[in-house]
Amino acid sequence: MGDAQDGLLLIGDGTQRIYTRGYTLRGLGIEVSGRAVVLTKNYRNTQQILEAAFPLVEDQWTSEMTSAQVAPQDCRPQFSNRQGQKPAIVKCGTIEQEVEFLQREIKYLLQFEGYRPNSICIMARDRACRQRAYDACREAGLPVVLYSAEAEPTTEASREGVRISSLHSAKGHEYAAVIIVGCVEGVMPLRSVTDAEDLASERAVLYMGMTRARDILYLSHAESQNGTPLKSSPFLQIIQDKCEKMRFFPKPSGG
């Protein structure tokens, strides 16, 4: 704002509004209508990742532009020119198979794609999924750390480990490869979420998690747990046309 008296500059991304029941700028006496500049160019993600993630928040984004008196058709997001592979939705028969997929894929990324452990992040919406992912990495002998926004890694070993994070704690970070596990109904969105505002926030949470990935993105879900059928997250239906759909096949017993 230079030397403008009482100048105030606000920068934000309304599509990453992942907490509801907060406040509005207008409610605080800050009017942005007619005073907003929209930055449309994204430099972090590949075009494929952005094209898959954006439908989750497109309605919210349109509302955000309209409230700022900006014509949505005049400021569509400019997806990155950087190309990559489509995000993959990976269907696993059971929770145990999802664990095996996680172990095998991380080993592949480390050994054959040349990624460092701390450039890989496994995200999950609930604590049980995160603990399962952590245990899976430990069992496979992979360096791993449970990450939270309140507790930054402090030792060299933890700084180098594969990150296990909630989607909320991943906000503000970026990774070469992201695997979002547990994409099932009742977890994403949470079973307790029912009203429209909270559902929009849950979609924004997934959007935010997906856009932490610079190059590679997987979203996995299991079809059953302990014999109980599981349904894939309804959010996957929103993005599936922009994703590769894959089926994971475990190694044969004794193989």
Domains of the chain: 1-250 (3.40.50.300)
Cis peptide before 72 (omega within 30 of 0): no
Q: Are 207 and 77 in contact (CB under 8 A)?
A: no
Q: Are 83 and 46 in contact (CB under 8 A)?
A: yes
DSSP symbol at 78: B
Local structure of 119: helix, strand or coil: helix
Instruction: Count CB atoms within 10 A of the CB of residue 113.
Output: 13
Q: Are 222 and 92 in contact (CB under 8 A)?
A: yes
pLDDT confidence of residue 8: 76
pLDDT confidence of residue 46: 93
pLDDT confidence of residue 112: 95
Q: Cα torsion at 154, 160, 161, 166 (round to 10°)?
A: 60
pLDDT confidence of residue 194: 85
Take residue 122 and report the two structure tokens written for it: 């496994």
pLDDT confidence of residue 26: 72
pLDDT confidence of residue 156: 55
* Contacts of 101 by beta carbon, 8 Å cutoff, 6+ apart: 90, 92, 220, 248
Segments in 68-113 forming alpha helices (H): 95-111
Averaged pLDDT in 10-residue chunks for the chain of 255 residues: 76 68 70 74 87 91 72 72 94 97 97 95 96 97 85 61 94 95 96 88 94 96 97 97 97 71
218 pairs with which residues across the strands? Answer: 88, 179
Take residue 130 and report the two structure tokens written for it: 């995160």
Cα Rg for the chain, rounded, in angstroms? 20
Segments in 117-232 forming alpha helices (H): 127-139, 156-160, 196-210
| Residue 47 backbone dihedrals phi, psi, to 5 degrees | -60, -40
pLDDT confidence of residue 44: 83
Kindly tell me the burial class for residue 157, based on how many C-beta atoms sit within 10 Å of its own C-beta (0-12, 13-18, 19 or more): exposed
**Residues composing the chain:** 255
Instruction: Count CB atoms within 10 A of the CB of residue 176.
Output: 17
pLDDT confidence of residue 202: 93
pLDDT confidence of residue 110: 97
pLDDT confidence of residue 62: 79
pLDDT confidence of residue 160: 86
Let me know the angle formed at the C-alpha of 174 by 172 and 176, rounded to the nearest 5 degrees. 175
Return the biggest CA–CA distance within the chain.
73
